[in-house]
């Protein structure tokens, strides 16, 4: 289908009675939800689309703010009350939809939403500590070294697989999309979408679960804690042994947490 003026590719999983929309993380694609969907296919019919610049969707040329385009693309699929699921950058898109179109969201699953603005509002020192961890990545980005940037980004946010062990085609895919990382900053850090303004998150009154890995970066805990304070009906689930890529490394545990949310929504 077409969303935000360019082609959007979607993948469909499951045959359950409830309809869900799943939004993947940066540098992934809709196939990232395959494992989770295998465990929820009898409960959910899942639409998973490729974000702009990812997978088989159209490229992002930098002409408009990336988060705006991604949100518009998601909204094209969110045509009725649905169970909304997002991971990382995709979770920030899901959260934005939940506060702007709450009537279309039946339940909300946020897996490590990287809304750094939330942590900056409450515990800026924890974001500063993360930025020290990410200093080499920032320097590589400033140098314009896409392959090094991708390797360092993967070290921070990947599933633990060493860079040298990733298929060459995957390394190239990630390096070619480093411009997307830079394009995410206005919303993730500067709150350009206004999600942290007083009272905005209170609009997302639907049952919500915040999922994180026990081995994830400390800044993830800081973000989730800030969001939990502001979301009216949110609870947190920590997955033992998991890191940032829990939907891929621990799909059953993620599906179990989503399944528990379905019971109360």
232-247: per-residue pLDDT in tens? 999 999 999 999 999 9
Average pLDDT, integer, range 151-164 = 95
Distance of CA 143 to the CA centre of its chain: 26
Q: Could you tell me the pTM of the whole model?
A: 0.96
The pLDDT, as a whole number, for residue 64 is: 80
Angle between helix axes 146-157 and 178-188 (nearest 10 degrees) is 60
DSSP-derived secondary structure for 182-215: HHHHHHHTT-TT-TTSTTSGGG--S-EEEEEETT
Strand order in the sheet with 105-111: 10-13, 44-49, 18-23, 82-87, 105-111, 208-213, 234-239
Could you report the per-residue pLDDT of 17-55, keeping only the tens digit for each?
A: 999 999 999 999 999 999 999 999 999 999 999 999 999
């Amino acid at each position: 289908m077409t969303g935000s003026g360019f082609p959007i590719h979607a993948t469909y999983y499951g045959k359950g009675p409830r309809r869900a929309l799943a939004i993947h993380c940066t540098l992934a694609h809709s196939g990232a939800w395959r494992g989770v969907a295998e465990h929820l296919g009898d409960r959910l019919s899942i639409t998973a689309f490729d974000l702009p610049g990812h997978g088989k969707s159209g490229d992002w040329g930098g002409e408009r703010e990336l988060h705006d385009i991604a949100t518009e693309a998601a909204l094209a699929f969110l045509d009725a009350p649905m169970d909304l699921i997002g991971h990382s950058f995709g979770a920030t898109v899901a959260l934005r939809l939940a506060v702007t179109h709450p009537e279309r969201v039946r339940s909300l699953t946020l897996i490590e939403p990287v809304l750094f603005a939330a942590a900056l509002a409450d515990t800026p020192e924890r974001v500063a500590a993360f930025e020290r961890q990410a200093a080499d990545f920032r320097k590589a980005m400033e140098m314009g070294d896409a392959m090094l940037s991708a390797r360092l980004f993967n070290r921070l946010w990947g599933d633990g697989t060493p860079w040298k062990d990733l298929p060459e085609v995957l390394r190239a895919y990630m390096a070619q999309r480093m411009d997307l990382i830079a394009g995410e900053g206005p919303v993730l850090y500067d709150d350009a979408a206004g999600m942290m303004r007083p009272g905005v998150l209170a609009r997302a009154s639907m049952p919500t679960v915040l999922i994180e890995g026990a081995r994830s970066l400390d800044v993830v805990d800081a973000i989730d804690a800030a969001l939990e304070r502001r979301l009216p009906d949110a609870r947190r689930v920590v997955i033992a042994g998991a890191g940032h890529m829990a939907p891929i490394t621990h799909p059953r545990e993620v599906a179990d947490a989503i399944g528990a949310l379905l019971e109360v929504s």
